[in-house]
Amino acid sequence: MWPLHAAASLALAQKYSCVACHQPATKVVGPSWKDISAKYGDGKGTAAQLAASIKAGSSGKWGAMPMPPQAQVPDADLQALAQWLLDGAK
Question: For 57-78, how does the pLDDT look when each residue is reduced to its tens digit (9 = 90+)?
Answer: 999 999 999 999 999 999 999 9
Instruction: Measure the CA–CA gap between 12 and 18, rounded to whole angstroms.
Output: 8
Average pLDDT over residues 29-49: 93
For residues 37-46, average pLDDT: 91
The whole-angstrom separation of Cα 40 and Cα 37 is 5
pTM of the model: 0.88
How far is residue 66's CA from residue 6's CA, in Å, rounded to a whole number?
Answer: 27
Q: Which helix (H) or strand (E) holds 10?
A: helix 2-15
Which pLDDT belongs to residue 8? 80
- Residue 56's contacts (CB-CB under 8 Å, 6 or more residues apart) are 69, 71
- Please tell me the CATH superfamily of domain 2-56+70-86, with its number: Cytochrome c-like domain (1.10.760.10)
Residue 1 has pLDDT above 60, yes or no: no
Strand partners, 67: 58
Residue 11's pLDDT is: 93
Specify the amino acid at residue 72: Q
* The amino acid at 65: M
| pLDDT confidence bin for 5, thresholds 50/70/90 | low
Indicate the domain borders of the chain.
Answer: 2-56+70-86
